[in-house]
Structure 1
Amino acid sequence: MPDDDALLHRLLPEQLLTTLRGRAAGYDRENRFFTEDLADLVATGYPLLLVPREHGGAGADLRQAVAAQRRLAAAAPATALGINMHHVVMGMARTLHQRGDRRAEHLFAQAAAGELFAFGISEAGNDAVLFDAATEAVADGDGYRLSGTKIFTSLSPAWTRLLVHARETAAERNPLVFGVLERDAEGIEVRQDWDTLGMRASQSCTTVLEGAPLRPEHVLTRTPAAPNADPVVWGIFGCFELLLAAVYTGLADRAIEVAAGIAATRRSRAAQAPYAQDPDIRWQLAEAVIVRDGIELQLDRLAADVDALGTPAEPPHGARWFLLFSGLKHRATEAARRVVDLAVRSSGGGQYFRGAELERLYRDVLAGIYHPSDSESVHAATARALLGPAAG
């Protein structure tokens, strides 16, 4: 694999990160998509981060991708969250590639040709997420026609390919079908309805499918409508949780950096000294770093475990993989919320005003509670593994 530092600085050079950070407040204020950021990231080859080199990509492993997304999120969290969904699809394809499974190889070629992938899985009221779907798939003799509504579809203004799932209602046992839709196909409506508290530049609009065609060659897998470890589902789940955790850890990195800078320059009138010398401020910022550091180590280790797929070093996590993925996402997003709260507490009332960077990070970090796996599902799954099914 390419050297970590060399790859990160080639795809995300410091000058570019400074530029992206400078745009973030404007995107948030105007509730506008990160069009210019995306053009700059495409110019460095960043969407090809997880595409193997033999397929024209940067050849990063998941551990490197986690580090890259963390670095990007420290500059522009909503931009990182948006491009994250493309990386999830490429990450899924890469985990299949590691297993010797060629079902998603064609996605690499599409990405290398400039296609941008989004993630059309979330549905209102579907708390089973990957393991069920409200969207219907009707076989039509040439693949399927999909009808339903997908929410939180990041990259809405720019995606050209959409990873989706739907329930094949006419088939025995109603299996789920997973595949990729093309943006210019009929039956796809993107609603301009993204006006949220935070992560505004991600423009994660609602996508309505009305008989959208899913061609046979674009079907990735069919699975039971129930928890299962199909390699496509496994790859989506694992890469989504790890890369999402990376984004929120990067946001926490930036909150610490901003708060430390404020503490060094903001002075106490009573003590006639910088707040960096105040014992309470020092404790708060130290606590923020301690909380962040614990997640950093977990994130790095679990990403490395995924990178070991198909090698003698592959860890025997078995059925625990899903619990490890969802548990890490939960801990990372909760840790990031704690870090940002501590940063705001330590930085004075000026950060309460609109336009202050910590004010924006405070709003952005709240989005973490809505991404799967949410707190309720993580605890329910862990309790079920530990204690068995709940009575009744």
Structure 2
Amino acid sequence: MSTPHCLRSSWHAAPANGGRRENGRVNDFDPTAYLPDDLLERIRERAPRHDRENTFPEADLDELRDAGYLAILVPAELGGAGLGLAEASALQQRLAGAAPATALAINMHLVWTGVAKVLSDRGVDALRFVQEGAVAGDVFGFGISEAGNDLVLFGSGTDAAPQADGGYAFTGTKIFTSLAPVWTQLGLHGLDTTSPDGPKMVYAFVPRSEESAGRIVTRDDWDTLGMRGTQSRTTELHCAVAPPERVARRIDPGPNPDPLVFGIFSVFELLLASVYTGIARRALDLAVAAAAKRTSKRTGKPYSQDPDIRWRIAGMALAYDALPPQLDALARDVDGLADHGTRWFSLLSGMKHRAVTAAKTIVDDAVLVAGGSSYFASNELGRLYRDVLAGLFHPSDPESAHSTVATAWLGPLED
């Protein structure tokens, strides 16, 4: 995901009501209240089957919806849990440790509810319908990615055609549409090139309904190396209509200080980093268990007493231990309307990059600690080894992250 060089303090201005409830993670926050151990174990037990059969974990979604998980970021006064991003990050780490694909799929719904929270915290009520929909049971898909579109939030190959009633008809192709079999509202963007004040990037939500049949085509093309349970299929849009009340924002293309851009980028990067941090923790736990269980024929001692294995696990722990505090601090800053000015995007893209690269290295080392058994498809580490690779493809990719950080420290490239 490319990042703008121009950030504005308006992204961090106080809410219109002059204040807000402090809803970052609190000392008495209990993640088991939202993800009980028994629910988590049922989700963990189902994960291998969905990976093996390449199916969407509908039972996971049903149980999470019943538990109120889809509305954890919705304010309590609207019927949600009223949690902040810091708490949601901790929960997503916990969920990812049980079923990475389920966590990644749910992430895309939570991104939109998180964006709604970021906007409302800053006095913008444009996505209240997302919050109300999440409480009512709607599932929000994330329809932003397009093949070859390295502009990501700042441009689109999807056509957004204005309608007489103020709605928009979208025509184009979206890729990596997680929750493809089950979403009820697809949040997406397209480019309006025909309006008098255009061109404009249009952000809106298209409902899945009988009326949209034929206008929205979900390809059955998700047959991937890992993260198979997300069912992030390709979505074709053929004049798919977003009604006027679901048109959230019309903004100029290109780098833009609009709070919606900040909201999408910040929530997407932090929750994505949370999923891969959860994978890293699970791999570390499995490595520790394997070291205690395996015994050296040479020494007769468990591998937990082998200096080389101890060094490797220590390295894994050193890398992992840095991630949760960073996630917590940045999520609290978003929740608390902190102003990092022009550094915001480098901090966010850097967080995602560090979490993904550290998770991959930790899983690699866990496989070495566990030995040859992890090479079998039935082994959980073998699945994590495949799942963690998906992190490399999510925005911001390594090139974009390095470019953004270089710009933050060195200034933009000279013409």
The 1:297/1:11 distance shift into structure 2, 3 A limit, reads same
Query: Aligned partner of 1:360: which letter?
Result: R
Query: Aligned partner of 1:118: which letter?
Result: G
What is residue 270 of structure 1 aligned with on the other side? 298
Contact 1:4/1:64 (8 A) holds in 2:
no
Counterpart CA distance in 1 for 2:151 and 2:322 is: 29
SS at match of 1:74: helix
What is residue 182 of structure 2 aligned with on the other side? 158
Q: Any unmatched runs of 5+ in structure 2?
A: 1-22
What is residue 181 of structure 1 aligned with on the other side? 206
Shift of 1:97: 1.2
Contact 2:191/2:202 (8 A) holds in 1:
yes
The 1:115/1:7 distance shift into structure 2, 3 A limit, reads farther
Matched length: 387
User: Which has the larger displacement, 263-272 or 172-181?
Assistant: 172-181
- Residue 243 (structure 1) aligned to one of 259, 271, 276: 271
Shift of 1:388: 3.5
Query: Aligned partner of 1:272: which letter?
Result: G
Counterpart CA distance in 1 for 2:227 and 2:28 is: 28
- Residue 327 (structure 2) aligned to one of 299, 315, 332: 299
SS at match of 1:273: coil
What is residue 108 of structure 1 aligned with on the other side? 131
Pairing 1:168–2:192 present: yes
Contact 1:330/1:375 (8 A) holds in 2:
yes
Contact 2:140/2:186 (8 A) holds in 1:
yes
Q: RMSD value over aligned CA atoms? A: 1.4
Cα deviations by residue, 1:24-48 (Å, 9 ceiling, x for unpaired) = 1111000010111111111111111
Counterpart CA distance in 2 for 1:222 and 1:16 is: 41
> For 1:228-377, what aligned pairs fall within 5 Å after superposition?
228-309=256-337, 315-377=338-400
Counterpart CA distance in 1 for 2:404 and 2:29 is: 39
- Residue 114 (structure 2) aligned to one of 86, 91, 98: 91
Shift of 1:318: 1.2
> Looking at both structures, which has the greater relative contact order when contacts are Cα pairs under 8 Å and sequence separation is at least 6?
2
Q: Any unmatched runs of 5+ in structure 1?
A: 310-314
Query: Aligned partner of 1:151: which letter?
Result: I
Pairing 1:61–2:89 present: no
What is residue 312 of structure 1 aligned with on the other side? none
Pairing 1:191–2:226 present: no
Counterpart CA distance in 1 for 2:387 and 2:65 is: 24
Cα deviations by residue, 1:237-277 (Å, 9 ceiling, x for unpaired) = 10000000000000101000111101001110001010011
Query: Aligned partner of 2:331: which letter?
Result: A
Counterpart CA distance in 1 for 2:140 and 2:30 is: 22
Contact 2:168/2:247 (8 A) holds in 1:
no
Contact 2:119/2:263 (8 A) holds in 1:
yes
- Residue 204 (structure 1) aligned to one of 232, 238, 242: 232
Please identify runs of 4+ aligned residues in structure 1 that moved more than 6 A. none
- Could you tell me the TM-score, scaled by structure 2's length? 0.91
Counterpart CA distance in 1 for 2:27 and 2:141 is: 26
Shift of 1:6: 5.2
SS at match of 1:145: strand
Counterpart CA distance in 2 for 1:130 and 1:268 is: 53
The 1:4/1:21 distance shift into structure 2, 3 A limit, reads farther
Aligned residues with identical type, % of pairs: 51
Shift of 1:206: 0.6
Contact 2:345/2:404 (8 A) holds in 1:
no
Contact 1:189/1:207 (8 A) holds in 2:
yes
Counterpart CA distance in 2 for 1:225 and 1:17 is: 42
What is residue 17 of structure 1 aligned with on the other side? 40
Counterpart CA distance in 1 for 2:257 and 2:247 is: 17
Cα deviations by residue, 1:217-252 (Å, 9 ceiling, x for unpaired) = 111111111111211111111000000000000010
